[in-house]
Amino acid sequence: MEIVQRKTLKPKPAAGTPLGFGKYFTDYMFTMRYEAGKGWHDPKIEPNEPKPFDLATSVLHYAQGIFEGMKAFRQPDGGVCVFRPDENWARMNNSADRMCIPRFPAEVAEEGLEELLRLERDWIPNEPGTALYIRPTIVATRVMLGVHASTEYLFFIILSPVGSYYAHGLEPTKLIVEDFYSRSSLGGTGEAKCLGNYAASMKAGELAEEKGFDQVLWLDAAEKKYVEEVGSMNMFFVFDGEVATPALVGSILPGITRKSCLQILRDRGFCVSERRIPIEEVISAAKDGRLKEAFGTGTAAVISPVGLIRYRGEDFPICGGKMGEITKMLYDTVTGIQYGTAPDGYGWRKRVL
């Protein structure tokens, strides 16, 4: 694999610098290109620098693009592991199918990622709760106007050292139920990690922030009846004797942290349900004390407790505004596997350095 050297390296954040999320970017990136008739070709490591784009480039007009989110974690012995990368590559190719993007060779992407991590290992932070965020992306690059699938694409991976996704860390989040705007509908692109999904969520997200909430809790587009997901997380609810999460009906992103938590919960003997969950059930349970905990799961947020939900102007506290026992167990188990401080009986921790 070709490696193009950068002339001048960037200064790295000093130890103890609050990293936030997505603010700093490393020196190099992995790229490969697709052309009709040639397939995916020319994989290389090159400097992470701005690239010129013609203003008629397809992705700028028709949003034909997808991305993934992964993390590399520093281990106690100084090594580096990535959490379940094969699941990310598989989901990315599923997103590609939905968005009329040619499937890419996952083994080449993985080789490129590992080479990139070897080159950028000094960017991987050591502080507790930090990681190196990995953003693989594919965008349509044919210069054309017309609503057709592109015949040219750029695949790239960029890296960013990050801290907690939320500024308040593990303090429980506050959610507001969105019963007007819609994120995705059945038959739409909700189960694909595509660019337009996130643009569609921004208006409601801005309004939620203005009201002092961290995220929007989305309902289904058709009836505004069933809970779907939060913009950056899948949702779980702990009722009396049941841990429930919305079923993957086509409008919800199939989260890898979600999948991992379901496996852990089932292996520990919890009664777990994947089903349609009416928002009225959640609110009723919050009123009469049957809703014991609520939390979100995702690569960026990991496991995030929910301390309050607002629905139709009324606030409903959950678990006294604190992290519940099941939420903490999942957080400790998942992060223990990721950071190498707990046994990995599932083989989810892939050693890359």
Domain ranges of the chain: 2-162, 173-337
Pairwise CA distance, residues 104 & 41, whole Å:
10
DSSP, res 235 = E
Pick the CATH number of 2-162 from 3.30.470.10, 3.20.190.10, 3.30.1130.10, 2.40.110.10: 3.30.470.10
Count of beta carbons in the 10 Å neighbourhood of residue 341 = 12
CA torsion through residues 258, 262, 264, 270, sign: positive
Structure tokens at 39: 């397939």
Q: State the fold for domain 173-337.
A: D-amino Acid Aminotransferase; Chain A, domain 2 (3.20.10)
pLDDT tens, position by position, for the chain (353 residues)?
899 999 999 999 998 899 999 999 999 999 999 999 999 999 999 999 999 999 999 999 999 999 999 999 999 999 999 999 999 999 999 999 999 999 999 999 999 999 999 999 999 999 989 999 999 999 999 999 999 999 999 999 999 999 977 766 678 999 999 999 999 999 999 999 999 999 999 999 999 999 999 999 999 999 999 999 998 899 999 999 899 999 999 999 999 999 999 999 999 999 999 999 999 999 999 999 999 999 999 998 899 999 999 999 999 999 999 999 999 999 999 999 999 999 999 999 999 99
SS3 content of the chain, % helix, strand, coil (to 5): 25, 30, 40
Catalogue the E-assigned strands of the chain: 2-3, 28-35, 39-47, 65-67, 70-74, 80-83, 131-140, 152-162, 173-178, 215-219, 227-230, 233-239, 242-246, 272-275, 293-298, 302-311, 314-317, 349-351
Burial class for 238, CB neighbours closer than 10 Å (0-12, 13-18, 19+): buried
Say if residues 61 and 195 touch (Cβ distance below 8 Å). Answer: no
Structure tokens at 146: 């017309």
Pairwise CA distance, residues 159 & 191, whole Å:
24
